[in-house]
Chains A and B, each alone.
Chain A
Amino acid sequence: MADRTAPLAAMEDRIAAAAFPGAALAAVPFVAQVGIRLDPAGPAAARVAEALGLPLPEANRVSASGGRRALWLGPDEWLVVAADGEERALVGILEDAIGADGAVVDLSANRTGLELSGPLSRDVLATCCSLDLHPRAFGPGRCAQTLVQKAGVLIEQRDADTFLLLVRPSFAAYVAEWLVDGMAGLAADLAAV
């Protein structure tokens, strides 16, 4: 594979330094991401589910199995996510499963990851994102395409205290700046208690 530069390489130190007892941020520079579009009521949906070993999830949800996840993007659109390096294998599996009944596109270069974790991670995200993140509306296994201020993001809640944000590389520093700022604010609040 050609040399790749992590989109947030220049911010690495600041991202690491922003950690406080409530939350920590980490760049996940490369994530295998394959977009698929197909009719959920058509023949390809079952074939994809079988090939991936996971069902295509309902709206705003994630399904996971063996290191692969499918994130709902729209009524006929999902993003299949896996560890860096798996994108070619995924494209092959999905093309075989979908054939002419839909579309498969490797989107791995389209978004980079930011992982926000810690007991206050939800509060940090809420400083810059208007999505309802309360457990009654969001939680582990949920995902949403929304905005962090002006930038589009795909947010996946991995577990009770961890969020993965998938962001276009050119907006990654902008989103990271907002999160770092939110962490600084909450850290100051904690210190003042």
Chain B
Amino acid sequence: MFQIRCPYCGPRDEPEFKYGGQAHVAYPADPEALSDEEWARFLFFRDNSKGRYAERWNHAAGCRRWFNVVRDTGTHELVGSYRVGEQPEAAR
């Protein structure tokens, strides 16, 4: 089980959190202009890389805030967490 550091509440056990997928996937500036394939890529395609990966988590049983976590997909190490609006370099 992970112990995840919520940037607002501090470290808590994983069952308090919900996973939210890859972080920093920007909503298209002009969705109407996208082809079906581009739209599908935005909706469904995510990186599946080995190494440090920025992902969203929600502290569902705590403060209910969304935040970001950097996790190493190779080792499962949680490198750190940071607030929405911050960049992965802010992870601690």
The answer for the CA separation of A144 and B10 in the assembled complex, in Å, is: 10
A152 within 8 A of B: yes
Report A-chain residues with C-beta under 8 Å of the C-beta of B65.
74-75
- The interface on chain A, measured as residues whose beta carbon lies within 8 A of the other chain's beta carbons, has a size of 14
Q: Which of B8, B13, B62 has its CB near the most chain A CB atoms (within 10 A)?
A: B62
Contact between A130 and B8, CB atoms less than 8 A apart: no
B12 within 8 A of A: yes
B34 within 8 A of A: no
Q: From DSSP, what is the main secondary structure of chain A's interface residues?
A: strand
Shortest CB-to-CB span from B4 to chain A, Å, is: 12
Contacts of B1-52 to chain A: CB distance below 8 A: 8-13, 15-16
Shortest CB-to-CB span from A170 to chain B, Å, is: 16
Contact between A152 and B9, CB atoms less than 8 A apart: no
Contact between B64 and A74, CB atoms less than 8 A apart: yes
Report B-chain residues with C-beta under 8 Å of the C-beta of A145.
9, 61-63
Select one of A73, A131, A132, A147 contacting B63, CB under 8 A.
A73
Closest 8 CB pairs of A and B: A74-B63, A145-B62, A130-B13, A147-B61, A152-B61, A75-B8, A59-B8, A147-B16
Which B residues are closer than 8 A to A by beta carbons? 8-13, 15-16, 61-65
